[in-house]
């Protein structure tokens, strides 16, 4: 166990002690939190329950009636979704698309954010604002020029996974740089100064100080980039459409519905199936959201 | 911890150099290079008839190992039907169809046409877009056996697929619009003597008012396309009130929306809305697929639903029994001059690459044996006159209406420029919400018309 | 071996390795260069990969968009400011513009407000991880599924029928309704409902980022203040809030831009009917339905311009941050 992790557990012990002392005064806090959780959950619970019900029942009675008549519930919708012939391959495709499309922008953004935060060069602020301003570019306006670039007359890579990795990196960078530069910029100056005095190169400072100290921000970024790519339908459809065997889960799911809107009852079940992995990523990265991982370093 | 991360990344760096190249290569290898299917330019279609032999004459496995990419809007049950339709072709030729269904077809094909990365075959959103993409679409005159195709297909459909005397679109399936659905359990007598005229229908409604809450069922909600069931109403009314000539000039942008002929159709539709189950808020909030559900209730909510033949596969119709729970009659005549006018619609299909496999598949799809497969599964009418393998009496009768039509009109909103079509949908929704705004709604549609039909 | 497996291994091991190799190599490249020049060159080497991606995937298409915005629908001739004139004179786009202003204000207030409130509250309880997952959940739901969820929330059936929509069943308990929620245009009520749906999805986003920043605030600092007798509200106002400000600016900016680009929710829930249309929807309609690239690009350019004030505020904030460092 590292010193940082030790500090974390120490901090937790302190916090827990305090918690025990004032348990009764904290009732309003618990009520507020649980209340917000309930409000946020109700719509999703409605979908969850309806995902176990046949379409007639969903249309003719509210989801809450199923709580009192559980006999309506069945796994039919889930069975139908999982029985789609391509669903396994599409799940793997989604992973092939999402993992590199998360790693590349986060690392590239980390380099850029470090330069923006801790290196001085002329035009730094202006360049940074332009980079962030690119957030506003609607990605639909980029589809045609980029597909032209990928076409046989250009790079001739349309249909390969590489196309979506590169595109998602481009689309994800402005936010990633924005978030990481802000976080790295808030790290204490003294740490980097003393490292430089000890003869550490910027690469060493970056790998051994900036990166580890930014872990909460990086974890947040990984969660979002993963989620956006995982749930993306449009980019995959446009860039991978010429190689249908490479299409991700989202395309398969939207295809459960007919052109006239029939088959919507499967969307609920499909949503919960495709949500499972992003939630797992969220839970896995939760442990990096712990006080003290930056060594209590952000100055006041 | 940091020390280890640092060293590990250093070691990894050495592996990296090798993999950099490999990643780029293998990600291309994992997916067959699109060059194979998109390499051929779409401008010059070879005129040699040799490779365009229709499926069946090609022999077993003639195209083994080849594949055809197809994109369309069909999902769910429709995709199953389409796959059933192509299965015999795949078995016979040994080629494989890579089908993708999507509701973002417009986006995929718009970007595809602009950049040149296109599927081999594709469903087309409508005749309007087909005209815009005419330069990218392949002339099917070299692909199909044209005399056979024309003899087996309604002339109106052949004309619709032709741009600049080049056949670029064919219909895979069709639907007949303007059918009036009812429950024989509520209205037993109407099956033998359906009202022949609009006035007779109104008289019948007055006489049978007590049998349901309201005369009509109506629901126009359909996500981004909300309003389209109302456009079908207006089209049916214009066709029968003002006749096919006005109908044609109207979708061609030569008759104004504020023209009395068009406005009368709107006000007639307004009467229907006013006597619809639940009133205007319900009409705008009810999905078209479930609009007819009140027909089947123990105490019926309405007497009639106006909808196309494909409704039998949707909502309450799906579980109801054809003939006993529901039946239909044709939209009655309004002006005797235009007796026998019918409105229809269909799913267009076009070709972007003329690979041998794509040509063979296209030739197969328009044949009667192919279309019979889909027709037999229900929910669709064929485009090929010889495909008549209908599963029940209801679909047989709807198909007969289409074949026997004296005056055939294609769905006008589908024939309008998409900006006009979209404004039409939205106009319907606004009119249902507040009928008193009719004049300003029509004036706005006139403005869109001026703009949408103008040459670019 | 399955080629897909090869791809998988290369993807997970190769891609990060290449990137780390690049950054380590930069120092090797800089070594023979004299000290002074090294300092000027180094930042550009660190920025190069990011700038290359941005140039190709965002800047280059945007230049095209700007050119298109002065051209006709097919991009065959220049039409001056026609597309912008159309944008600012068409009644539907003007309603869209007005709605977008409401979107920006309300969505930002709701998501940043609730995101901060929840992040600060759950920081004090042991079931933090579960509570955060609950708020985060809607963001993990795809847009298609979210539209199904909210269709059933807002469902309206004819008066007298059993109300199967959650909201109408709820107000029905008090003898009110049914209300056709998405058709109520008075005071932009339906647009506000759509913004609430979006806020339901995006509050989790703000919460996660604010929470990450919150964990960076030193425990000692907070404990010291508490020992000095500050109550929780004073700790929040005096220490936590000022330290969170830069992060709030980041999430605020991001949400403002999200609100400007809002499209899906409106598109699937109302199709832009009942005066709920927004700018991005007008753009996508022009681009992919009407194939009018000129007008679509003009809307995109207007979007680009609206960001200028937001960016100006960000510049000032950075200069302030530099000054105190």
Distance CA(B251)–CA(A44), nearest Å, equals 44
Contact: C162, A29; criterion CB under 8 Å: no
Set of chain C residues whose Cβ sits within 8 Å of the Cβ of B26: 3, 6-7, 10
Q: What pLDDT shows up at residue C92?
A: 84
Residue B68 has pLDDT above 70, yes or no: yes
Helix, strand or coil, per DSSP, at residue B69: strand
Helix, strand or coil, per DSSP, at residue B408: strand
Set of chain A residues whose Cβ sits within 8 Å of the Cβ of C40: 121
Average pLDDT over residues C218-226: 84
Q: What is the largest CA-CA distance in chain B?
A: 91
Tens-digit pLDDT profile for residues B379-412: 789 988 888 888 888 888 998 888 888 888 999 9
- Least confident residue range of A82-86, A244-248, B220-224: A82-86
In this structure, are residues B381 and B174 in contact, taking their beta carbons and an 8 Å threshold? Answer: yes
Identify the residue with better confidence: A265 or B262. Answer: B262
Average pLDDT over residues C148-160: 88
Going by C-alpha positions, the residue among A157, A171, A183, A150 that lies closest to residue A105 is A171
Average pLDDT over residues B276-296: 92
Q: Which helix (H) or strand (E) holds B4?
A: helix B2-29
Which residue in this structure is represented by tokens 């956006």?
A228
Q: What pLDDT shows up at residue C159?
A: 87
The three-point CA angle B111-B114-B115 to 5° equals: 85
* Banded pLDDT at A12 (limits 50, 70, 90): low
Residue B38 has pLDDT above 60, yes or no: no
Chain B neighbours (≥3 Cβ pairs under 8 A) are: A, C
Average pLDDT over residues B37-66: 46
Residue B166 has pLDDT above 80, yes or no: yes
Least Cα separation, residue B4 to chain C (angstroms): 14
**Which residues 155-174 of A have a C-beta within 8 angstroms of C?**
161, 166-167, 169-171, 173-174
Query: At a CB cut-off of 8 Å and minimum separation 6, what does C117 contact?
Result: none
- Least confident residue range of A173-177, B86-90, C285-289: C285-289
Interface contact C164, partner A, CB < 8 A:
yes
Helix, strand or coil, per DSSP, at residue B244: helix
In this structure, are residues B70 and B100 in contact, taking their beta carbons and an 8 Å threshold? Answer: yes
**Which residues 240-299 of A have a C-beta within 8 angstroms of C?**
250, 253-254, 264, 267-268, 270-271, 274-275, 278-279, 282-283, 286, 289-294, 296-298
Least Cα separation, residue B225 to chain A (angstroms): 10
Supply A1's token pair.
Answer: 């166990």
Set of chain C residues whose Cβ sits within 8 Å of the Cβ of A188: none
Q: What pLDDT shows up at residue A17?
A: 54
Set of chain C residues whose Cβ sits within 8 Å of the Cβ of B222: 271
ipTM for the complex shown: 0.90
Interface contact C135, partner A, CB < 8 A:
yes
* Banded pLDDT at B456 (limits 50, 70, 90): low
Q: What pLDDT shows up at residue A267?
A: 86
Residue A295 has pLDDT above 90, yes or no: no
* Banded pLDDT at C40 (limits 50, 70, 90): confident
Distance CA(A163)–CA(A160), nearest Å, equals 6
Helix, strand or coil, per DSSP, at residue A290: coil
Contact: A242, B79; criterion CB under 8 Å: no
Going by C-alpha positions, the residue among B447, B437, B450, B449 that lies closest to residue B413 is B449
Contact: C261, A61; criterion CB under 8 Å: no
* Banded pLDDT at B455 (limits 50, 70, 90): low
Q: What pLDDT shows up at residue B235?
A: 95
Tens-digit pLDDT profile for residues B294-334: 999 889 999 999 999 999 888 888 888 888 899 999 999 99
Set of chain B residues whose Cβ sits within 8 Å of the Cβ of C268: 223-224
Pick the residue of B27, B221, B225 with the most A CBs within 10 A to test the interface with A by mutation: B27
Contact: B100, A257; criterion CB under 8 Å: no
Residue A155 has pLDDT above 60, yes or no: yes
CB atoms within 10 A of CB A97: 28
Residue C87 has pLDDT above 80, yes or no: yes
Per-position DSSP letters for B94-154, written without gaps between them? --EEEEEE-S-HHHHHHHHHHHT---SEEEES-HHHHHHTTTTS--GGGTS-HHHHHHHB-
Interface contact B117, partner A, CB < 8 A:
yes
Which residue among C14, C267, C291 places its CB closest to the CB of B23?
Answer: C14
Contact: C17, B281; criterion CB under 8 Å: no
Nearest CA in chain C to A265: C148
Give the side-chain half-sphere CA count within 13 A for A37: 17
Q: Would the pTM count as exceeding 0.90?
A: no
DSSP letter assigned to residue B1: -
**What does the mean pLDDT of chain C come to?**
88
Chain A neighbours (≥3 Cβ pairs under 8 A) are: B, C
Distance CA(C237)–CA(C222), nearest Å, equals 12
Q: What pLDDT shows up at residue B43?
A: 31
Q: What pLDDT shows up at residue C37?
A: 81
Interface contact C289, partner B, CB < 8 A:
yes
Which residue among C10, C183, C289 places its CB closest to the CB of B19?
Answer: C10
Contact: C18, B227; criterion CB under 8 Å: no
Average pLDDT over residues C293-310: 90
Least Cα separation, residue B197 to chain C (angstroms): 30
Which residue among A143, A242, A255 places its CB closest to the CB of B37?
Answer: A242
Pick the residue of C289, C292, C293, C297 with the most B CBs within 10 A to test the interface with B by mutation: C289
Residue B431 has pLDDT above 90, yes or no: yes
Q: What pLDDT shows up at residue B387?
A: 87
Average pLDDT over residues C176-204: 92
Contact: C20, A107; criterion CB under 8 Å: yes
Residue C10 has pLDDT above 80, yes or no: no
Distance CA(B221)–CA(B224), nearest Å, equals 9
Pick the residue of B26, B75, B97, B290 with the most A CBs within 10 A to test the interface with A by mutation: B75
Interface contact C159, partner B, CB < 8 A:
yes
* Banded pLDDT at B109 (limits 50, 70, 90): very high
CA distance readout (Å), A22 to A33, A65, C312: 17, 40, 45
Contact: C72, B422; criterion CB under 8 Å: no
Pick the residue of C19, C148, C300 with the most A CBs within 10 A to test the interface with A by mutation: C148
Contact: B30, A259; criterion CB under 8 Å: no
**What does the mean pLDDT of chain B come to?**
84
Contact: A258, B78; criterion CB under 8 Å: yes
**Which residues 2-31 of A have a C-beta within 8 angstroms of C?**
11, 14-16, 19, 26, 29-30
* Banded pLDDT at B242 (limits 50, 70, 90): very high
Residues recorded for chain B: 456
Identify the residue with better confidence: B60 or B343. Answer: B343
Return the HEC string of B158-192.
Answer: HHHCEECCEECCEEEEEEECCEEEECCCCCCHHHC
Contact: A145, C60; criterion CB under 8 Å: yes
Supply C282's token pair.
Answer: 């007008």
**What does the mean pLDDT of chain A come to?**
84
Set of chain B residues whose Cβ sits within 8 Å of the Cβ of C271: 222-227, 425-426, 429
Least Cα separation, residue C264 to chain B (angstroms): 10
Identify the residue with better confidence: C53 or B76. Answer: C53
Q: What pLDDT shows up at residue B60?
A: 55
Tens-digit pLDDT profile for residues C52-73: 999 999 999 999 999 999 998 8
Average pLDDT over residues C9-32: 84
Pick the residue of B216, B281, B433 with the most C CBs within 10 A to test the interface with C by mutation: B281
- Looking at chain B, the whole-number percentage of residues with pLDDT higher than 70 is 86
Contact: A271, C283; criterion CB under 8 Å: no
Residue A63 has pLDDT above 80, yes or no: yes
Set of chain C residues whose Cβ sits within 8 Å of the Cβ of A296: 218-221
Contact: C211, A289; criterion CB under 8 Å: yes
Q: What pLDDT shows up at residue C325?
A: 60
* Banded pLDDT at C90 (limits 50, 70, 90): confident
Going by C-alpha positions, the residue among A159, B64, A137 that lies closest to residue C59 is A137
Which residue among A144, A233, A256 places its CB closest to the CB of B115?
Answer: A144
* Radius of gyration from C-alpha coordinates of chain A: 24
Interface contact B107, partner A, CB < 8 A:
yes
Tens-digit pLDDT profile for residues A210-245: 998 888 899 999 999 999 999 998 999 999 988 888
């Amino acid at each position: 166990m590292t010193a940082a992790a030790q500090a974390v557990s120490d901090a937790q012990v302190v916090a827990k002690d305090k918690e025990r002392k004032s348990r009764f005064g904290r009732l309003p806090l618990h009520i507020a939190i649980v209340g917000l959780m309930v409000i946020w959950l109700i719509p999703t619970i409605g979908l969850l329950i309806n995902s176990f019900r046949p379409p007639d029942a969903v249309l003719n009675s509210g989801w809450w009636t199923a709580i009192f008549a559980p006999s309506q519930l069945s796994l039919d919708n889930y069975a139908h979704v999982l029985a789609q012939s391509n669903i396994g391959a599409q799940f793997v495709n989604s992973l092939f698309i999402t993992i590199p499309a998360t790693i590349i922008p986060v690392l590239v953004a980390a380099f850029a954010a470090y330069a923006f935060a801790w290196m001085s060069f002329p035009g730094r602020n202006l360049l940074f604002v332009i980079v962030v301003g690119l957030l506003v570019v609607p990605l639909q306006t980029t589809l045609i020029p980029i597909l032209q670039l990928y076409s046989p007359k250009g790079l001739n890579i349309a249909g390969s996974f590489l196309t979506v990795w590169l595109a998602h990196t481009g689309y994800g960078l402005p936010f990633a740089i924005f978030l990481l530069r802000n976080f790295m910029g808030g790290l204490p100056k003294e740490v980097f100064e003393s490292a430089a005095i000890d003869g550490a190169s910027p690469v060493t400072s970056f790998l051994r100080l900036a990166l580890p100290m930014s872990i909460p921000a990086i974890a947040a970024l990984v969660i979002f980039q993963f989620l956006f790519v995982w749930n993306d339908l449009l980019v995959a459809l446009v860039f991978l459409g010429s190689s249908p065997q490479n299409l991700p889960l989202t395309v398969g799911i939207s295809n459960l519905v007919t052109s006239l809107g029939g088959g919507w009852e499967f969307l609920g079940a499909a949503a919960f199936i495709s949500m499972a992995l992003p939630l797992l990523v969220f839970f896995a990265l939760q442990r990096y959201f712990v006080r003290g991982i930056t060594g209590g370093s952000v100055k006041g | 911890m940091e020390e280890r991360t640092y060293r590990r990344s250093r070691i990894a760096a050495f592996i990296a150099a090798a993999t950099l190249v490999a990643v780029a290569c293998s990600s291309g290898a994992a997916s067959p290079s699109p060059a194979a299917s998109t390499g051929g330019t779409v401008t010059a279609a070879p005129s040699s008839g040799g490779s365009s032999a229709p499926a069946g004459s090609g022999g077993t496995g003639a195209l083994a190992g080849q594949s055809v990419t197809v994109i369309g809007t069909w999902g769910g049950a429709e995709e199953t039907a389409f796959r059933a339709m192509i299965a015999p072709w795949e078995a016979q030729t040994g080629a494989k169809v890579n089908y993708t269904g999507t509701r973002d077809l417009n986006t995929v094909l718009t970007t595809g046409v602009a950049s040149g990365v296109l599927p081999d075959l594709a469903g087309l959103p409508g005749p309007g877009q087909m005209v815009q993409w005419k330069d990218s679409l392949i002339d099917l005159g070299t692909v199909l056996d044209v005399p056979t195709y024309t003899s087996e297909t309604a002339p109106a459909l052949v004309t619709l697929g032709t741009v600049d005397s080049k056949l670029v679109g064919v219909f895979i399936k069709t639907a007949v619009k303007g059918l009036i659905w009812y429950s024989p359990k509520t209205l037993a007598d109407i099956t033998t003597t359906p009202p022949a005229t609009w006035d007779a229908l109104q008289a019948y409604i007055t006489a049978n008012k007590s049998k349901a809450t309201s005369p009509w069922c109506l629901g126009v909600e359909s996500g981004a396309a909300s309003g389209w069931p109302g456009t079908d109403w207006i089209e049916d009314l214009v066709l029968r009130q003002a006749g096919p000539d006005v109908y044609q000039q109207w979708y061609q942008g030569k008759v104004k929306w504020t023209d009395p002929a068009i406005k009368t159709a709107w006000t007639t539709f307004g009467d229907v809305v006013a006597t619809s189950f639940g009133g205007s808020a319900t009409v705008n909030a009810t999905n078209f697929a479930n609009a007819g559900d009140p027909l089947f209730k123990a105490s019926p909510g309405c007497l009639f639903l106006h909808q196309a033949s494909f409704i039998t596969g949707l909502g309450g119709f799906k579980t109801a029994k054809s003939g006993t729970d529901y039946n239909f009659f044709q939209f009655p005549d309004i002006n005797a001059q235009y007796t026998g006018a019918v409105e229809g619609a269909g799913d267009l299909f076009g070709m972007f690459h003329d690979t041998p496999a794509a040509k063979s598949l296209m030739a197969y799809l328009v044949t009667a044996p192919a279309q019979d497969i889909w027709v037999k599964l229900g929910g669709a009418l064929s485009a090929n006159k010889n495909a008549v393998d209908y599963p029940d009496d209801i679909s047989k009768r709807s198909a007969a209406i289409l074949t026997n039509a004296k005056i055939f009109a294609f769905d006008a909103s589908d024939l309008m420029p998409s900006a006009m079509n979209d404004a039409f949908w939205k106009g319907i929704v606004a009119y249902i919400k507040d009928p008193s705004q009719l004049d300003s709604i029509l004036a706005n549609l006139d403005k869109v018309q001026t703009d949408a039909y103008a040459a670019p | 071996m399955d080629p897909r497996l090869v791809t998988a291994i290369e993807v997970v091991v190769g891609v990060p390795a290449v990137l780390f190799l690049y950054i380590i190599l930069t120092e090797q490249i800089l070594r023979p260069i004299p000290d002074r020049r090294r300092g000027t060159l180094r930042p550009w080497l660190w920025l190069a990969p990011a700038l290359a991606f941005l140039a190709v995937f965002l800047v280059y298409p945007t230049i095209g968009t700007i050119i298109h915005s002065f051209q006709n629908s097919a991009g065959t001739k220049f039409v001056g400011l026609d597309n912008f004139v159309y944008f600012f004179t068409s009644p539907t786009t003007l309603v869209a513009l007005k709605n977008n202003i409401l979107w920006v204000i309300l969505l930002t207030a709701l998501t940043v407000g609730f995101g901060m409130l929840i992040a600060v509250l759950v920081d004090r309880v042991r079931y933090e991880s579960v509570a955060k997952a609950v708020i985060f959940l809607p963001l993990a739901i795809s847009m298609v599924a979210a539209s199904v969820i909210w269709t059933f929330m807002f469902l309206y059936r004819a008066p007298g029928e059993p109300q199967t929509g959650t909201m109408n069943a709820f107000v029905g308990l008090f003898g009110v309704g049914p209300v056709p929620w998405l058709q109520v245009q008075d005071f932009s009520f339906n647009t506000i409902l759509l913004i609430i749906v979006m806020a339901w999805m995006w509050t989790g986003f703000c919460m996660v980022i604010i929470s990450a920043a919150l964990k960076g605030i030193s425990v000692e600092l907070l404990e010291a203040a508490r020992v000095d007798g500050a109550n929780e509200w004073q700790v929040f106002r005096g220490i936590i809030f000022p330290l969170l400000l830069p992060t709030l600016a980041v999430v605020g900016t991001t949400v403002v831009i999200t609100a400007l680009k809002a499209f899906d929710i409106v598109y699937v829930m109302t199709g832009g009917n009942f005066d709920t249309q927004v700018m991005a929807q007008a753009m996508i309609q022009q681009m992919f339905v009407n194939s009018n690239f000129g007008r679509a690009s003009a809307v995109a350019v207007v979007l680009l311009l609206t960001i200028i004030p937001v960016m100006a505020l960000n510049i000032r904030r950075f200069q302030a941050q530099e000054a105190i460092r």
